[in-house]
Amino acid sequence: MATFGSFALLIALALAAYNLLAGAIALRMLATGGQARISPERLADTARRAGMAGFVAITAAAFALVWSVFQNDFSITYILEHSNRALPAPYKFAALWSGQEGSLLLWAWLLGTYGFILRLTHKTDVKLYAYAGTILAGVQVFFLAVVNFAAPPFALMRGAIPQDGNGLNPLLQYPEMVIHPPMLYLGYVGFTIPFAFALGALMMRYPGENWIKITRVWTMVTWLFLTFGIFLGMHWAYAVLGWGGYWGWDPVENASFMPWLTGTAFLHSVMMQEKKGMMKSWNVWLIFSTFLLTLLGTLLTRAGLVSSVHAFAQSSIGTWFVIFMGIVLGVCIFTYILQRSHLKAEHHLESVVSREVSFLFNNLVLLVACFVILWGTLFPILSEYVVGNKVTVGAPFYNRVAIPIGLFLLFLTGVGPLLPWRSTSLRSIRRNFVLPSIALFATILVCLAVGVRPWKNGEFDSGNFYALVAFALCASVLCAILSEFLRGAGVISRQTGRNVLSATYLLTRRNTRRYGGYIIHIGVVIVVVGLAGAAFNRNTERELALHDKMDVGPYTLECVGFTQDSNLNYNSEYALLDVYRGGKKQFQMTPEKRVYLVSGQPQTMVAIHSVPSWDLYVVYEGTNPDTGQPIIKAFLNPLVSWIWAGVVLIVFGTGIALVPSLTPATASLRIPAARTVPAEPALKGGD
């Protein structure tokens, strides 16, 4: 299988190279209008078909690697290092992306999959798709060159072949790790599509904004994959690492967050280009930057440039990525300078108080956040290069800078829906902001009354202060968004006689993009509520003998046993803890510590009991070597479940936004003609 897989990768590289060269020649012939023995249209079609055949070749290579994993073929170095005989089947499959070579093969395969789908739909706009397909082929050539020459997944062992492999990293032997990396990669790779369309549209001076409409679904689906992947990673860190948190500003976490920030900015600002013909240069550079940040994220993770629990060891592929990123940046700058006259704005801002300005501020804040995170992530590398010492930037730096930025962004999330396009009157502002302002101050008073105050032990506490501000802003933003739903639903209800729920459904179906976006914003608000709860985390640690007890928050934990177990993959120790509240037993928890047999590495399996108010989070730290008794660490983490609930809303809202809106003809069939009233301004406008 190793020979077959290697040959398939070489064939895929040859097909991608042909796709790139033939596609570029065909586009050049179309641009110059020269005569040739073969028509440019036919040459472009052969290039497209080569790209589709390349997908088949990469699929064959990926299948060969997975098949070899399940066959325990330890003659392949990659399989020896990332699998073993006793590894459960789901994790054998996950071995495809658990190491550097396999993950780069996954990158190439996903890009081939996206390209295959794109080339199937080429008749939507043949010339634009030809440009995009050729640019995709250029990216594909790079990744296939890497997996063929710099990081080959089918490299063979030298000498005697071991009977068993080294096993999968214990940190990766968790159910979410079967889906977390592919989700992140679907996001990373997917941003290549809007990048290719943007660069292609700029190269050919594509008229109008139709390229944005073509790529809208691609961009939103990609953003959804990346969002879901990030939150899956947060939940994995929370459930596996045993430190009681879910986001530590780790360099690899930051690497996935930065393209999410610029991608989010792009999704918001393209509406300005669609509706007003504004921010064209801004949008082009947003998507260029997003693609470059996905390459940077892959570089940081795969080349071992940063120290991280997520990153791979030091590697030589860093030079490949740096050169390729330089080429991509050079092509983007050259094309922009050559075609910048095509990106002149058709309109200008008419008022400082308008939805356009709120979008602009939204973009600026997202980019400031991205720059801060980029600076903190690269600072250790830069400091080592300049002064010879690697200076690590920790979580306090990010929290000190990123939290205020995030709160201001949350404020803009609530302000945007309340402002109309172009300009607004002072009277309209007062009317729209009354209820959100009341919600803001009422929440502050309630928080102060229940003990959420910006001080602790008589001194100012920034964590409590930020939590208070976050709760107040969340209430205000939620009120602003819900008022938009109720205002529009009220109009439809008066028109049709429907109840409020039915009217809200029809309102959403009339403009799924706008109201799906509002649902996403509600999800973001719920996530922020959950994040704000971290200011009130509590924890305690004790060594527990049999029937010893420890208290954390309203709970009492009693040790009723500690024992050992084993299977073919690992040995484990765990404690049996009865949990009491108010003197009554509520449930039992079994935190566990595993030691994997092949690697000898330990792994924490956290016990978590979640309710809407908090999580009881219990870690088995191991045993005291002198007494043989378990050491238990327990956390009470408020509102964590709100984070995961918010993610569900974000996914649901994105799904709504992807559904086509009802056309006027379809919508009219759903509204009885008996009661028709002129629509109020609340239903007008865009997203």
| CA diameter of the chain | 90
Q: Which of 56-65, 120-129, 240-249, 383-392 has the lowest mean pLDDT?
A: 383-392
- pLDDT tens across 239-296, in order? 988 899 999 898 888 999 999 999 999 998 888 888 777 788 899 999 999 999 999 9
Average pLDDT of every residue of the chain: 88
Rounded CA Rg of the chain: 28
323 CB contacts (<8 Å, ≥6 apart)? none
Nearest 5°: phi and psi at 148?
Answer: -85, -35
How many other CB atoms sit within 10 Å of the CB of residue 326? 10
Task: For the chain, give the percent of residues with pLDDT over 70.
Answer: 91
Element (H, E) at 560: strand 555-566
Q: Could you tell me the pLDDT band of residue 678, with boundaries at 50, 70 and 90? A: very low
Q: 143 pLDDT exceeds 60?
A: yes
Cα separation of 520 and 654, whole Å?
A: 7
Q: Is the pLDDT of residue 684 over 70?
A: no
* Mean pLDDT value of segment 606-627: 92
DSSP 147: I
Question: 558, 528, 553, 560: which is closest to 539 by C-alpha?
Answer: 553
- Which tokens hold the place of 645? 């609930």
Question: pLDDT grade, residue 674 (50/70/90)?
Answer: very low
Close Cβ partners of 304 (under 8 Å, ≥ 6 residues apart): 311, 312, 313, 314, 315, 318
CA 573 – CA 535 distance, rounded (Å):
32
Poorest-pLDDT segment among 103-112, 166-175, 399-408: 166-175
Report CA-CA distances (Å) from 572 to 567, 624, 631, 650. Answer: 9, 16, 15, 37
Decide if pLDDT at 548 tops 70.
yes
Compute the distance between CA of residue 663 and CA of residue 683 in angstroms, rounded to an integer. 15
Residue 667: per-residue pLDDT: 53
Determine what percent of the chain is predicted with pLDDT higher than 90: 58
Are the C-beta atoms of residues 527 and 647 closer than 8 Å to each other?
yes
Token pair belonging to 251: 């360099």
The pLDDT of residue 515 is above 50 = yes
Please report which confidence band the pLDDT of residue 392 belongs to, taking 50, 70 and 90 as the band edges: confident
Q: What is the pLDDT of residue 687?
A: 44
- Asked if 98 contacts 111 with a C-beta cutoff of 8 angstroms, the reply is no
pLDDT in tens, 36-60: 677 888 999 999 999 999 999 999 9
Residue pLDDT, tens place only, 61-74: 999 999 999 999 99
Contact predicate 79/93, CB 8 Å: no
- Note the pLDDT of residue 680: 39
Asked whether the beta carbons of 348 and 278 are under 8 A apart, the reply is yes
Two tokens at 372? Answer: 């801060």
Residues 593, 598, 601, 603, CA torsion sign: negative
In DSSP terms, 626 is beta-bridged to: none
Mean pLDDT on 512-523: 93
Report whether 535 contacts 476 (CB < 8 A): no
Tell me what pLDDT residue 388 has.
Answer: 76
CA distance 449 to 579: 30
Q: Is the pLDDT of residue 478 over 90?
A: yes
Q: Are 2 and 154 in contact (CB under 8 A)?
A: yes
Output the CA angle 466-470-471, nearest 5 degrees. 120
Return the number of other C-beta atoms located less than 10 Å from residue 514's C-beta: 20
Asked if residues 18 and 53 have their Cβ atoms less than 8 Å apart, the reply is no
Residue 182 pLDDT exceeds 70: yes
Is the pLDDT score of 681 beyond 70?
Answer: no
Query: Who wins on pLDDT, 676 or 346?
Result: 346
Those residues whose C-beta lies under 8 Å from the C-beta of residue 427, and which sit 6 or more positions away, are none
What is the residue extent of each domain of the chain? 1-168, 174-345+353-420, 421-535+645-683, 539-641
**Is residue 387 classed exposed, middle or buried when 0-12, 13-18 and 19+ CB atoms within 10 A define those classes?**
exposed
Mean of pLDDT values over 630-651: 95
Q: What is the pLDDT of residue 30?
A: 83
Is the predicted pLDDT of residue 21 greater than 90, yes or no? Answer: yes
